[in-house]
Structures are given as structure tokens and as C-alpha cells.
Structure 1
């Protein structure tokens, strides 16, 4: 049986393969909570630290970085495999209302961008102290007696 060739089917298959690739192929990330802060560690090996840009707008944190080819001689090489992507990469995180946008810190060392995102003070769990006060018990016109054993109070008591 003859198999028909349709160029559109090949193009469709190509784009379908692209959409199955993770968007983070150039910027793999670990994200975890450490006490009262969130930490994102993004792998950026081979990226010029001057090209790393981190900004926050409307609770969306965006990281951009550029990885350039190793040298100008790359165009003349006969590549057998090339798995390390080059170009400009971006990664976005949507931040909730429980984080402090003005206290985010970023550090780039050994090819890893580390973002420290602290929780907002108002979002942190806290203990509420209970104040103890002495109240005088108002006893009405009747005579009131109390016994130590049962701690019962007889008479008029206002609640």
C-alpha cells in the first residue's frame, strides 16, 4: 500500500513536538518554602550575569537572561548534537498577596539564580496574647454565700 506524503502533516507533527517540550527548557527551576520565605533556584549556566534581569509588575515576577553562543566560530562548525540552547530566555512566576514584593532578593552564583521571596508580615501566623484582668462581681440586693468546695455562688449574679 502506498503511503501518501502531505507536507502539512509533517509541519503539524513538528509544531506538535515543539508544544510538548517544557517551556522551562532553558531555565529549569526548583521552588520551595523555607520557613517564612519562598526560594526559587533557577539554573542559568553559561549566562552572563549582566544579562540577568528580574522585575515585578502586578504580582508577576519575570526573570530574563541571555545565553550567547560560545564563539563566533560556531557557525563554521559541523554540529553532531547541540542540546544547550542559546538566546534570550524568560520565566514568569505569579506571586500571591501573601508575599512581600519590596523585600525580594536575587543572587547569581555558580550558574544559579537564587530568588528569596519573603512572606508579608501580615500573612505570617502569629500568637495572640490573651490579657487577664480582675473583675469585681456585682452582687445584688440579696445576701450571697459561697462555698469553697463547690465554688457555687448563691444570690443575684449579673451575666
Structure 2
């Protein structure tokens, strides 16, 4: 029996090395974003370094837009990792989306670690010019 296992048996709150490593790995970061709004849409750029498309989850529900992602630190196929100081972080960010925007038409693109979301305004929420009649 290893020392780690003996400690875990005596203290039910103690973590094994694998559990401790998993807990450290699960640290969630808030990605930096840039948001630009114009008369037609709002565009959100989120920095998600190391995140592949299959580890990206974007959801919208009840006026809430959620971005959840997991970055991947590539390891060569035949390499056995004995020590790593780089953790693959999780990213999470939530936004409230105004009813002025059409969440059913959100466009998303991921390129070079940057997620670009474009949320168009509803037609009735777009600014329009009012013609004035004389007389």
C-alpha cells in the first residue's frame, strides 16, 4: 500500500494524487472578450487558445448565451508524459442577450483560438428612418 493510500484511508477528506491533479486541471477561466455593437448586430470575439471545435459548446436559452470550452494540450502519440506545468484549462462565460437580438440566427466561427459570434438584431429593433410629411 502506498503512503497516499494510507493517508486517504485515515482522512476521508484527503485527495489522491490523481484526484488532486484533476481538481487543479478543472480550474475554469473566464475568456477575454471584445464586444462591438452596431445598428445591425452585436459581435463578440472570445479568446479561446487551444480549443478545438469539438471541445466548444455554445448554448442560448431564455436570453442567456453560454460559452463553455476545453483547451487541449497536444501530446505526441508515443510520448509518455512524466511532468507537465501546462494545464489544459476550461473556459466558461455567460452573457444576457437583449430581446432586441435574434438568437435563432447566431453565427459562430472559430479560427486560430478566437471565437467570433455574430448576433443579428431583430428587424423590428433595427433603427429606421421616419419620413415626415408636410401639411
TM-score of the superposed pair, with normalisation by structure 2: 0.66
Please state how far the C-alpha of 1:91 moved relative to its aligned partner: 1.0
| Runs of at least 4 residues off by over 2 Å | 68-75, 128-133
Of 46-55 and 70-79, more deviation after overlay is shown by 70-79
Change (3 A) 1:105 1:78: closer
CA RMSD of aligned residues (A): 2.5
Please state how far the C-alpha of 1:132 moved relative to its aligned partner: 6.3
SS at the partner of 1:76?
coil
Separation in 1 of the partners of 2:84 and 2:97? 44
Structure ID, larger Rg: 1
Within 5 Å, give how 1:1-159 maps onto structure 2: 24=30, 27-71=31-75, 75-77=81-83, 79=85, 82=86, 85-130=87-132
User: Greater strand share, 1 or 2?
Assistant: 2
Please state how far the C-alpha of 1:46 moved relative to its aligned partner: 1.0
Structure 2 residues without counterparts, runs of 5 or longer? 1-27
SS at the partner of 2:54?
helix
SS at the partner of 1:77?
coil
Please state how far the C-alpha of 1:131 moved relative to its aligned partner: 5.2
**Contact 2:106/2:120, CA 8 A, preserved across alignment:** yes
Structure 1 residues without counterparts, runs of 5 or longer? 1-21, 134-159
Aligned residue pairs, count:
106
